[in-house]
Amino acid sequence: MNLPPVVSAEEWSAAREKLLVKEKEVTRARDALAAERRRMPRQAVTKEYRFEGPDGPLSLLDLFEGRRQLVLYRFFFEPGVLGWPERGCRGCSFGADQVAHLAHLHARDTTFAWASRAPQEDIARYRDHMGWEVPWYTITDDWDLDFGVDEWHGTNAFIREGDDVFRTYFVDKRGDEQLGSTWSYLDITALGRQEMWEDSPEGYPQTQAYAWWNYHDKYEDGDEFTHALSVATAGQRGKTSA
């Protein structure tokens, strides 16, 4: 291997600072792209789609679990996929291991779920074997064909206004490999991270950064918007405000 040279601590720090300039440019570009994504037009979902869950039939609206946004990943686990019926797609399973704790997405009024064509009994068996807790539904109609995931994995983002559902974004291929963290999922949604530093259209829900972050077992059921918006929490970084 042709490894880089060994240098002093001062030279290493200088090299790191030089690279940091480019890294910050990428971060700002990513934030700008997310801001543009939040201004994309919406696609109305007018067709009725049906899924199967552990307790029976569900509509696409049901998959929101009452929250405002839904991020739905097409997981290839079904007849014809390598490993069936014992296992699902290796790539999909690899990605599934990266998914952050769902409580943090729920705190931003966002639901995350998977959809496959495998029967629920097979889904339950494989899900339990792998130790995953993500809601996982069976596709029963043309949802995968209509949303670009009939032949390849992909992630669709939706938002609802009452009972009306809209598609807001879609990413697949190498775009999917960047997903897994709470932030990566929120960044592809219509509402984003919902923090006050973001460049979002007027009227979008936003709270102070850091203030709403919590232990995944300590989120309260109620709305914490007022607390997160308060001056007392504006600079909160793991400290309890007076």
Q: Kindly report which listed range (15-24, 134-143, 154-163, 223-232) carries the lowest average pLDDT score.
A: 223-232
Would you kindly state where each structural domain of the chain is located, as residue ranges? 43-191, 207-242
CB 53 within 8 A of CB 137: yes
pLDDT in tens, 181-236: 999 999 999 999 999 999 999 999 999 988 889 999 988 755 555 555 565 555 54
Q: Please give the backbone phi and psi of residue 128, each rounded to the nearest 5 degrees, phi first.
A: -65, -40
Reported as a pLDDT band with limits 50, 70 and 90, residue 161 is very high
Residues across the chain: 242
Question: In angstroms, rounded to a whole number, what is the distance separating the alpha carbons of residues 226 and 208?
Answer: 10
For range 86-92, the mean pLDDT: 97
Reported as a pLDDT band with limits 50, 70 and 90, residue 147 is very high
> Which residue, among 59, 68, 63, 162, has the nearest Cα to 107 in the 3D structure?
68
Cis peptide before 85 (omega within 30 of 0): yes
CB 75 within 8 A of CB 179: no
DSSP 150-170: SSS-EEEEEEEETTEEEEEEE
Question: In angstroms, rounded to a whole number, what is the distance separating the alpha carbons of residues 180 and 96?
Answer: 8
Question: In angstroms, rounded to a whole number, what is the distance separating the alpha carbons of residues 177 and 95?
Answer: 7
Question: Pairing relation of β-strands 50-53 and 56-59?
Answer: antiparallel
Q: CATH for 43-191?
A: 3.40.30.10
Listed in order, strand segments (DSSP E) in the chain are: 43-45, 50-53, 56-59, 69-74, 110-116, 136-139, 154-161, 164-172
pLDDT in tens, 30-60: 999 999 999 999 999 999 999 999 999 999 9
